[in-house]
Amino acid sequence: MATEIERKFLVKDDTWRGLGEGDHYRQGYLSTEPERTVRVRAAAGKGYLTIKGKTVKATRAEYEYVIPLQDADAMLDELCERPLIEKTRYRIDHQGLVWEVDEFEGENAGLVIAEVELASAEQVVALPAWVGEEVTADPRYYNSNLIANPFSRWAG
């Protein structure tokens, strides 16, 4: 079984800008059930289909497959729940780990999240200076939940 071990953090300032290259992502969900999500993504000229299990702490089952970009675009346009998630993802190397900083657009504009994938849940992580509060356990920040409850609708 494929496993994803990931921690998520809010980004507290703009000092990360210019540290990595960005790619535009367009993604949507065929299923947003907490026990399983099925995501379609188009990014960097490729299509992906990803199935994820329920998150327990920072770990969950994950299966990802490359699919034809035309198929991904058709599913995003015709089958996925709305709104779609649009963001630019930047990859930034920091002390031996690759951080992915997602700057959201559309109904989630203003939200910037940094994620780091780990080899184990116990792995010690040196946080970059631009990383703020950890939100790994807060389901509001799951991309699949940003469809039903976009960041622009959060109070205060």
pLDDT in tens, 71-83: 999 999 999 999 9
**Chain segment 17-42, per-residue pLDDT in tens:** 999 989 999 999 999 988 899 999 99
Sign of CA dihedral 33, 37, 38, 42: positive
- Which of 57, 76, 41 is CA-nearest to residue 4? 57
CA distance 48 to 73: 10
Domains identified in the chain, total number: 1
Residue 57 has pLDDT above 90, yes or no: no
Question: Could you say which of 25, 29, 63, 141 is catalytic?
Answer: 29
Residue 103 has pLDDT above 60, yes or no: yes
Domain containing residue 11 = 3-153
This model's pTM is above 0.85: yes
CATH number at residue 112: 2.40.320.10
Q: Is the peptide bond before 34 cis (omega within 30 degrees of 0)?
A: no
29 part of the active site: yes
CA distance 64 to 70: 17
- Which of 31, 7, 4, 50 is CA-nearest to residue 148? 31
